Structure 1
Amino acid sequence: MNPFRLRSHLAALLLALMPAWALAQLAPAAPAASAPLTAGVPAPGAVTDGPIKGYAVVIGGALKGDNEDVWRRLVELSGGKGSRWVIFGTASQTPDKTARRLADLLELRGATAEIVPVAPQLKWVDLERAVRDPSLLELVNNAQGIFFSGGAQERIIDTFSPGGRPTPMLQAIWGVYQRGGVIAGTSAGAAVMSTVMFRDALSVLNVMKGQLRDGKEVDRGLGFVGPNLFVDQHFLKRGRFGRMLPLMMARGYKLGLGIDENSATVVQGDMVEVIGAKGALLVDLREARTDAKIGAFNVQGARLTYLDRGDRYDLGLHKIMPSARKLRGTRLQAGTPEFKPEFLREAYYTDMLGDSTIYNAMAELIDSKQNESRGLAFDPKAAPSEAVADLGFSFRLYKGKDSVGWYSDELGADEYTVSSLYLDIAPVRIARPMFTPWTSR
């Protein structure tokens, strides 16, 4: 067994046996009440005396063990071979097994990875003591990298920032980040990177229909990417741009970043770089509008940019930097002499929230002679008794004067980077029943 992991288990065991009076000496005074849930509030546990020097690596979930682009970059960012990592399986249903796998994958790339047993599913651990244990805090303070596993993100929040009150362990994690360390998280571990996060909102359509309650679908995050950027995960695979837009509008976010599975974004300051197998969708609402009189979710002029692996984006300058591979490929911009579109048909998508549909729609439109494409989303299984059972949404994706893309097949597959397409979403009434049996006349 890794000596560090053995020490971690022993430390947690000693902590569980510690008398209450000793624990009281370790616990800092708690704030009287938790802060309101709003975008722009200071991140819980954040160290605010100086700029953040570290890296937030937001992994979209389903990260494969052979994804060298992500695993090796994690080790490189933390100082290379021999760098120390602390693994939290806190979100997982099986934290020991999950954390051990993550530790093994980091060690395979030359890091030293150590498991800290702080998780609600470890019933033998007293969480209130563990997040204040000096020996465990020392392990965190000496790390160059922190990794949060996938699972249920509410377990991370409720453990490290219960009621919005940062624990000493969360403060230690922030210290690692400010000093130049790496904070990485996959799936649930990625969800907590925003100041506001989705806590439990599995149905994208329900969020679009207005189900967006504090403490239910929405909660505080840990805020590692700062107060002005919202992030989400499993993004293109699960059509989650549909739930991102209502949350961003409700919480006042102007920029959102959705990372697809087996992919990651490296965020340092305003700079975002996409690594891994696929890409990320950047949602920009700075010029978007909505009509409150309609009485249901709607938006006009949401700007969408798809960043493929290797691409970078400056959030402060709102500037895209395609990868060298894309720049060697084909530039795609309607109205230019060199534009020779691949797609000619008008596209219509019957499920805009389907698996990677929004990416496919963006890639096809930027490489098309058409100026727009349309689609629909609704719940065919909605119970007739549901108050908004017949509520669906129509989508219009269209080009603007600044819409541009890049195409490459250098790696053997069609790959697109797409900048500044625009999206309108309008509520529509779905007929019930939608269809009747065909009969001959």
Structure 2
Amino acid sequence: MQLSRLLLSLGLGLSLHAAHAGTAVVIGGALRTDNTAVWQRVVSEAGGPGARIAVFATAAANPERSAQQIVAALQREGADARFIPVAPRLAGSDLAARLADPDLLEQVRSSQGVFFSGGAQELIVDTLQPGGEPTAMLRAIREVFDRGGVVAGTSAGAAIMSRMMFRDAQDNLGILRGQWREGREYDRGLGFVGADLFIDQHFLKRGRIGRLLPAMQRLGYVLGLGVEENSAAVIKDRLVEVIGARGALLVDLREARSDARLPHFNVRGVRLSYLDSGDRYDLARHVATPAAHKLREPRIDPAASDYKPYLPRSHFFGDILGDGAIVTAMAQLLDSPAQEVRGLAYEPPAAARNRSARLGFEFRLYKAEGLTGWFSGSLGGEDYTVLNARLDVLPVTVAHPLYVPLTVPASRP
């Protein structure tokens, strides 16, 4: 804990300076090859057609195949994309030699952009920053970024964007319950988005609000950004723009508090904002600007005298960490008469083998000052932007079994 906070504070000045130099394109994973909005934006930020982009498949299980797919997608948008063969799982390569290879270093330095593939993010940091010390290859990548280039990454390549990162933390509920070890669940990232913003990916699909909140609390972050699959957050000069298929969840703990008397994770007063594709957010001023097509629609303001909620009621979420559940709950809070929406994060009865499995967490979303949003169906979906929903998360004891089936009454003789 103390080491992590020290690393965070030591990296503050350098990271914030770097964040103002280049552009970080944080892609939430599962990026489709036909998502031209994201691929085009990476190429555009690197300078447009002809821009040189160095592709690192360092995290991939099959680096050559992953790099080939990324190179092809970037070349379709006009980039001069090249595979940099620096990956621990690349068969027959001398990793140490390639990290210091003058020709490869020059290829990277002369690029206008860098792209990191998905896979296992620990392979990226262990390769480029072993023991926390930057290699010559990482310094070359930073040169590209510091002179105004773009660094993009999908999935694992997104996780490394913040100063601290999730290393291997697949169990959301386990982290809520306190499973948190340096070098296991978390580690140092590469810090391309600055030291005060924590990044997570595959966010809505995998219900990762359950791990992001305790991680931010443990590491001392007040701002977190969870990017959904097949979507991206473009971050430059402290401005975030969301592009792609869906959106990103901004988590703000500036006014949050916890009760140290409770023996498990808890937090009250979290601000959640769901930024849909096309929305923007100013990290310095904490101001959101919805996409142009949203602004053509009436604003939804529960505090307004003419507020007319569209949804008849809200629902209880039996698995608030389910696919997209947290944003669905936020939309119901915004656009229904309900003053709060609740849900549970817990282990199903069949998986509960001991008393600790009875520990669950209640998520309570509620209306408070500043809650507002927009809805649009103009793009063919039911698309919400939701700003400043409030959230409390409290530990609870869950009954096991949670329910029992009804039985047929015995017939009388």
Q: TM-score, normalised by structure 2?
A: 0.95
Aligned runs of 1:236-251 on 2, under 5 Å? 236-251=204-219
Q: Of residues 392, 401, 405 in structure 2, which corresponds to 1:433? A: 401
Q: Cα offset for 1:328?
A: 0.2
Contact 1:42 1:227 in 2 (8 A): no
In structure 2, the residue matched to 1:182 is: 150
In structure 2, the residue matched to 1:74 is: 42
Point out the more displaced range, 326-335 or 348-357.
326-335
Distance 2:235 2:164 in 1: 17
Query: Which whole-Å deviations, capped at 9, do the CAs of 1:367-401 have from their partners, x for residues lacking one?
Result: 11211111111011675554621111111101111
Matched, 1:123 2:123: no
Distance 1:51 1:61 in 2: 21
Q: Which amino acid aligns with 2:388?
A: S
Contact 2:31 2:229 in 1 (8 A): yes
Q: Which runs of 5+ in 1 are unaligned?
A: 1-34
Contact 1:288 1:302 in 2 (8 A): yes
Matched, 1:379 2:347: yes
Matched, 1:266 2:237: no
Point out the more displaced range, 161-170 or 342-351.
342-351
Distance 2:204 2:78 in 1: 32
Matched, 1:406 2:374: yes
Matched, 1:219 2:184: no
Point out the more displaced range, 372-381 or 414-423.
372-381
Query: Which whole-Å deviations, capped at 9, do the CAs of 1:3-61 have from their partners, x for residues lacking one?
Result: xxxxxxxxxxxxxxxxxxxxxxxxxxxxxxxx9433624559x6898774210000000
In structure 2, the residue matched to 1:424 is: 392
In structure 1, the residue matched to 2:357 is: 389
Percent identity between matched residues is 52
Contact 1:47 1:171 in 2 (8 A): no
Distance 2:300 2:193 in 1: 31
CA distance 1:83–1:272, shift in 2 (3 Å)? same
Q: Cα offset for 1:440?
A: 3.9
2:368 is paired with a residue of what secondary structure?
A: strand
Q: Which amino acid aligns with 1:100?
A: Q
1:212 is paired with a residue of what secondary structure?
A: coil
2:67 is paired with a residue of what secondary structure?
A: helix
CA distance 1:277–1:409, shift in 2 (3 Å)? same
Aligned runs of 1:40-439 on 2, under 5 Å? 40-43=8-11, 52-380=20-348, 383-386=351-354, 388-439=356-407
Q: Which amino acid aligns with 1:402?
A: G
**Over aligned residues, Cα RMSD in angstroms?**
1.9
Q: Cα offset for 1:430?
A: 1.2
Point out the more displaced range, 95-104 or 430-439.
430-439
Q: Which runs of 5+ in 2 are unaligned?
A: none
Contact 2:55 2:70 in 1 (8 A): yes
Point out the more displaced range, 76-85 or 330-339.
330-339
Distance 2:8 2:185 in 1: 19
Distance 1:287 1:48 in 2: 22
Distance 2:332 2:262 in 1: 31
Q: Which amino acid aligns with 1:424?
A: D
